[in-house]
Amino acid sequence: MAASYVSVPRDLTRVKSKIVCNLTKRQLICFSVAALIGVPSFFLMKTVVPVNTAVMGMMIIMMPFFFLAMYEKNGQPLEVIMEHFISSQIVRPKKRKYKTKNYYAALAKEAKRLKEEECF
């Protein structure tokens, strides 16, 4: 009989507690919001357009919530990544002008002006 081993992660900060169906609390909330918005929209669209189109519309409506639930990069969820992206690309200017006060140029200009006054 072979011994079976269970791997234990060394970094316990990356371990997330699962609540129901192996989903985290964040995923449960996002999936339920997607269902609360997507399913009624499907039934409303089904009365106007064919079923195939209603299903595609429901999928398009629910996709952002799925991305919010599942996407994570470098331990940061999607909304944090989007917040950083918006602040760096839209809120702050892309080209920052670095202006210094050049005291040497000011002294040189003043010396030139004094020299011109002495000539007259």
pLDDT, tens digit, for every residue of 29-71?
888 999 999 999 999 999 999 999 999 999 999 999 988 888 8
- pLDDT cut 90: percent of the chain above it: 28
Q: Give dist(CA 25, CA 2) in Å, integer.
A: 37
Closest CA to 44 of 67, 61, 68: 61
Alpha helices by DSSP H, the chain: 25-46, 51-70, 78-86, 103-119
Q: What pLDDT score does 27 carry?
A: 83
Q: Give dist(CA 4, CA 81) in Å, integer.
A: 39
What is the residue type of 98? Answer: Y
Domain extent for 47: 19-94
Judged against a pLDDT cut of 70, whether residue 13 lies above it is answered with no
Looking at the domain assignment, is residue 61 inside a domain? yes
Q: What pLDDT score does 2 carry?
A: 63
What is the residue type of 2? Answer: A
Looking at the domain assignment, is residue 111 inside a domain? no
Q: What confidence tier does 78 reach under pLDDT thresholds 50, 70, 90? A: confident
Looking at the domain assignment, is residue 46 inside a domain? yes
Looking at the domain assignment, is residue 3 inside a domain? no
